[in-house]
Structure 1
Amino acid sequence: MPAHPHSSTLYTVEQVREVERAVIAAMRISGHDLMRRAASAALGSLRRHWPQARSVCICCGPGNNGGDGFLLGVLAREAGLQVELVALGTTSHGDANLARSEWEAGGGRIRLWEGESRLPVTDVLVDALYGIGLSRAPEPSAARLIDALHASGKPLLALDVPSGLDADSGHCPGAVVRADVTVTFIVGKRGLHTGRAADQVGQLELASLGVPEGAHAHVHPDAQLLLAGAMPPRARYANKGSNGHVLVIGGEHGMAGAVRLAGESALRAGAGLVSVATRAEHALALNVGRPELMVHAIDGVQALVPLLERANVLALGPGLGQGDWAHLLWQAALDADKPLVLDADGLNLLARKPCTFTMPAVLTPHPGEAARLLGVSIADVERDRFSAVRELARCYAATVVLKGSGSLIADPDGRLDVCPWGNPGMASGGMGDLLTGVVAALMAQGCTAWQAACLGVGLHARAGDLAAQRGERGLLASDLLAPLRALGNGLSSRTDRHE
């Protein structure tokens, strides 16, 4: 029962339960048998990651996750490990009770967690407290146990889901386990791939438990992980006009950098021509700094109209501001009815004057911008990023990228992809401007809004991972330009964690 880094399909908690029922029926095994397979996979993961470990402490809750832990204790003891078992309570439920009885029948001792107890000294700790069913904060006693796990300083293996992490959304309503390794079972859970999850799951593995691929084929996944991709080779007779013309609109006083990053990333992502409409004061510096950009001083709508007519795709919002100049250009760009990418202040203006899009459009909000667009709080967005991005796509009839750890891409029909790449070094100024230019360039080269958003998000995040090989802290948006060009041509995939 090998463990794999990822599967590309992701499921909701309700779907996972349906999958488990289908697997038990198709394979004609009991829930207890499936639990034993999970315990075997967990032991394999523990052995691979900590081969020198001679002792393990397993912390078990009352449900099936705890049952996995009890059976892991049985198998670990049979394998010659010294096993200490700590339980939250005196009883377990359903199949977990059978597992608990099996541990005790072999002479296994259970230490009850009293809230102020101390954990046994051991080489490795195992979290088997709560599984996919927990969507609330752990009880106070369990929260103190989670704190004790962290205070031990020992490596920590989580079974299926780090306890306290909502497997549906990635939200953490209370205390939550911070694992070094998480081995999840049968299928991927969508909440392990976005939001707070990145800080909790550690190295994530999927153990299929020997389940045949067709055993749950009727349960359609809720989301997919992005696959690494690149643009196809160009035709040998291509010219600059074959690869589209992007117009970047923005750069209010003091914000020339935003439009330069968007324009330069559009060039590096393959757009044949890139024009920039910005304040007159920025024109000279931008032309000198990146002469391939065609920079135009724009003081009003009349000067913008000819540029709108020539462009294939608009990149609207980087450094745009929200004053009168910005609003006039924003409205003119929307009235042009051209495919567009909307970011930054373009989104803030949209929140003030909502509309649905009839042309192909990609919106790229961070959680704060998403909250303004939906009229909710940032906490509401982060509580369920999946619902938020789908609601945005539905409300605005656009493809939407909800940025952040585990960026999400949704279309108005509910299709949703999750980005498995990226790193904390990318939390710095200009990264969003860079993404805007990349997505616009891909649309200009013939990608649909959905294709451009998915490929663009993937290229952007993978370029960030390549650039971060020299360290995450101090990473600049412009550091991504060289790896972005390479990845767009399919020349490098050294940091791809999901194939």
Structure 2
Amino acid sequence: MRPELPTRLYSAAATRELDARIIAAGTPGIELMQRAAGALWRELRRRWPNAGRLTVLCGSGNNAGDGYLIAILARRAGWEVSALAVAPPERLRGDAALAWQQAVAAGVNIQLWSGSLPQTGVLVDALLGTGLHSEVREPYVQAIAGINASALPVVAVDLPSGLNADSGAVEGVAVAADLTVTFIALKPGLFTAQGPDLVGELCFAPLAELPEHDIVPALERLTLDACKLLLPERPKAAHKGMFGHLLLIGGNHGMGGAIMLAAETALRSGAGKVSVATRSEHIAPLLARCPEVMAHGVDDPAQLAPLLDQATALVIGPGLGQNAWAQQLLTLALERALPRILDADALNLVAAQPTTLGSQTVITPHPAEAGRLLGWPTRQVQGDRLFAVRRLAERLCCVVVLKGVGSLVADADTANLPGLCIFGNPGMASAGMGDVLSGLVGALLAQRMNAIDAARLGVLLHALAGDRAAEHHGPLGMLAGDLTEHIRYYLNLRD
């Protein structure tokens, strides 16, 4: 039985320190390498038991040592094995050099890489490890290009070569693996930015029990077991007033669908009462779709004040637009000290006039919106998503959900670990998904959940609902509205 993924993730530097602590506690480095090779060999055989041929591309660091030891195991199993040294093995030091010497003694066919690869079997990427923080250079560029062009199954040792272990960014070029076996600790780059497209199936091998330590993780995974405790069971004497009155503001001319999706999700997510402030033209279709909503035509921003007086939480932004009407509604809403979530055009308006939003505000930008809020190009946000979400939370003094693969949740309190959501699927790349998330988080805020907890639970349930919808009907053609029944399922899941 393979171990479940840990909840905490560590940077590349922290992982190296953990490795050093394990060695200092009495486990020799070469033994850790042997355990790593054994774990990788087991997973490789599970996926491709009849391949019969293994080609290991080895670099100049400890990953190369793992690769040479895997070659020994494959040779002992009767496979046809070759190890291609992309870096001269004589340059290896320490345990990696010892692993190479063991491979030589075991009769492994070791050759300097000449630019060609076999046409059959499985390839092992043992080129570059977690220490990579600059663009890949030759001869590794050609080796990675050859691996990716081979059409053979690829196994990555610890992480795909060329992938930044901390940010998930590609350092020029990177291996696209079918299977990655990672060791000691999970690294953030495996789960966010470009990492998930390159990792393939991910397996974790702890290699040893971690000794007591004071090393601070970079992230923690959002898990259902932990997050579902944030929403208590309802008492038998419950009434709607106990679960808040959520006011959603948005739906400018021609954009009524966004506010409708958010409102319906809010009702399905447990808010006691839901009101919508929108353009009058959207009232009839909104009530026809969802008669449980209290719909208010607000063509004059002055009409918003009495609705704000009744609200316990706000959602601002779905279909809001960026004209004078939208700006006035946003200004009035921000004047109230209410828990709130800002999304979509509300974020674009804030980006034009940055302000401190407060600890009970949640914002949910996608990378381009985050870039506008920070004054950065989108590629800079995606180049280090963890830094971006922390910087944004610090700058606006609020809770930030940086959407995208490996969504991140952070607040301005540096003592809190940012949360990482590893769920979700490409079918969720469709219009309205952000509106559903806003309605869900808004409903949790209305139920008196604090902002950071509402954001963490909302992001997790939204992603899990997307995965459940994909399991039922496939990811292609998924609509945002398909998630509501699955969100409700997870909200009611107690065991």
Q: Does 1:486 align with 2:489?
A: yes
What's the secondary structure of 1:188's corresponding residue?
A: coil
Identity %: 47
* 1:416-449 Cα shifts (integer Å, max 9, x gaps): 0100100011011100010001001011112111
In the alignment, which residue of structure 2 is the partner of 1:108?
108
Q: Within 2, Cα distance between the matches of 1:173 and 1:54?
A: 32
**TM-score (norm: length of structure 1):** 0.95
In the alignment, which residue of structure 2 is the partner of 1:338?
338
In the alignment, which residue of structure 1 is the partner of 2:326?
326
Q: Within 2, Cα distance between the matches of 1:145 and 1:98?
A: 24
In the alignment, which residue of structure 2 is the partner of 1:436?
438
Displacement of 1:79 in angstroms is: 2.6
What's the secondary structure of 1:463's corresponding residue?
A: helix
One-letter amino acid of the counterpart of residue 427, structure 1: A
Q: Within 1, Cα distance between the matches of 2:302 and 2:148?
A: 62
One-letter amino acid of the counterpart of residue 180, structure 2: T
In the alignment, which residue of structure 2 is the partner of 1:420?
422
Displacement of 1:5 in angstroms is: 4.4
Q: Does 1:87 align with 2:92?
A: no
What's the secondary structure of 2:82's corresponding residue?
A: strand
Q: Within 2, Cα distance between the matches of 1:9 and 1:482?
A: 30
* 1:243-282 Cα shifts (integer Å, max 9, x gaps): 1111110011000000001111111111011101001111
Mean alpha-carbon deviation: is it higher for 42-51 or for 144-153? 144-153
Q: Within 1, Cα distance between the matches of 2:111 and 2:293?
A: 68
Among candidates 457, 476, 480, match of residue 479 of structure 2: 476
Q: Within 1, Cα distance between the matches of 2:196 and 2:346?
A: 29
In the alignment, which residue of structure 2 is the partner of 1:166?
164
Q: Does 1:457 align with 2:459?
A: yes
In the alignment, which residue of structure 2 is the partner of 1:220?
216
Counterparts of 1:115-126 in structure 2 under 5 Å? 117-126=115-124
Q: Within 2, Cα distance between the matches of 1:18 and 1:140?
A: 28
Displacement of 1:3 in angstroms is: 4.0
1:151 to 1:18, Cα distance in 2 relative to 1, 3 A: same
Q: Within 1, Cα distance between the matches of 2:475 and 2:18?
A: 38
Q: Does 1:314 align with 2:314?
A: yes
Counterparts of 1:230-379 in structure 2 under 5 Å? 230=228, 231-358=231-358, 360-379=360-379
Q: Within 1, Cα distance between the matches of 2:117 and 2:2?
A: 29
One-letter amino acid of the counterpart of residue 38, structure 2: S
Displacement of 1:112 in angstroms is: 1.6
Q: Within 1, Cα distance between the matches of 2:112 and 2:334?
A: 64
Counting matched residue pairs gives 486
What's the secondary structure of 1:35's corresponding residue?
A: helix
Q: Within 2, Cα distance between the matches of 1:122 and 1:452?
A: 50
1:401 to 1:5, Cα distance in 2 relative to 1, 3 A: same
* 1:206-253 Cα shifts (integer Å, max 9, x gaps): 1011x124x143223121011014333211111111111111100110
Q: Within 2, Cα distance between the matches of 1:329 and 1:137?
A: 47
Displacement of 1:474 in angstroms is: 1.1
Aligned 8 A contact 2:81 2:109 in 1:
no
1:20 to 1:192, Cα distance in 2 relative to 1, 3 A: same
Displacement of 1:359 in angstroms is: 5.3
Mean alpha-carbon deviation: is it higher for 447-456 or for 145-154? 145-154
What's the secondary structure of 1:133's corresponding residue?
A: coil
Displacement of 1:150 in angstroms is: 2.3
One-letter amino acid of the counterpart of residue 436, structure 2: L
Q: Within 2, Cα distance between the matches of 1:380 and 1:108?
A: 44
One-letter amino acid of the counterpart of residue 147, structure 2: L
Aligned 8 A contact 2:65 2:96 in 1:
yes
Displacement of 1:185 in angstroms is: 0.3
Q: Within 2, Cα distance between the matches of 1:203 and 1:109?
A: 28
One-letter amino acid of the counterpart of residue 17, structure 1: R
In the alignment, which residue of structure 2 is the partner of 1:66?
64
Q: Within 1, Cα distance between the matches of 2:119 and 2:359?
A: 62
Mean alpha-carbon deviation: is it higher for 361-370 or for 291-300? 291-300
Aligned 8 A contact 1:247 1:276 in 2:
yes
Q: Within 2, Cα distance between the matches of 1:275 and 1:364?
A: 21
One-letter amino acid of the counterpart of residue 424, structure 1: P
Aligned 8 A contact 1:389 1:408 in 2:
yes
Aligned 8 A contact 1:3 1:41 in 2:
no
What's the secondary structure of 2:139's corresponding residue?
A: helix
Aligned 8 A contact 2:136 2:172 in 1:
yes
What's the secondary structure of 2:299's corresponding residue?
A: coil
Displacement of 1:37 in angstroms is: 1.4
Displacement of 1:47 in angstroms is: 1.6
In the alignment, which residue of structure 2 is the partner of 1:12?
11
Q: Does 1:385 align with 2:385?
A: yes
One-letter amino acid of the counterpart of residue 465, structure 1: D
Q: Within 1, Cα distance between the matches of 2:112 and 2:373?
A: 49
Displacement of 1:297 in angstroms is: 0.4
Mean alpha-carbon deviation: is it higher for 336-345 or for 79-88? 79-88
One-letter amino acid of the counterpart of residue 143, structure 1: V
* 1:378-425 Cα shifts (integer Å, max 9, x gaps): 011000000000001111111100000000000111320100100011
Aligned 8 A contact 1:308 1:333 in 2:
yes
1:489 to 1:268, Cα distance in 2 relative to 1, 3 A: same
Q: Within 2, Cα distance between the matches of 1:372 and 1:108?
A: 54
**TM-score (norm: length of structure 2):** 0.96
* Structure 2 unaligned residues grouped into runs of 5+: none
Q: Within 2, Cα distance between the matches of 1:183 and 1:444?
A: 42
Among candidates 184, 202, 206, match of residue 186 of structure 1: 184
One-letter amino acid of the counterpart of residue 360, structure 2: P
Q: Within 1, Cα distance between the matches of 2:241 and 2:179?
A: 50
Aligned 8 A contact 1:84 1:120 in 2:
no
Q: Does 1:54 align with 2:64?
A: no
Q: Within 1, Cα distance between the matches of 2:53 and 2:212?
A: 37
What's the secondary structure of 1:14's corresponding residue?
A: helix
One-letter amino acid of the counterpart of residue 487, structure 1: Y
Aligned 8 A contact 2:119 2:152 in 1:
no
Aligned 8 A contact 2:169 2:383 in 1:
yes
Among candidates 135, 138, 157, match of residue 137 of structure 1: 135
Displacement of 1:109 in angstroms is: 2.2
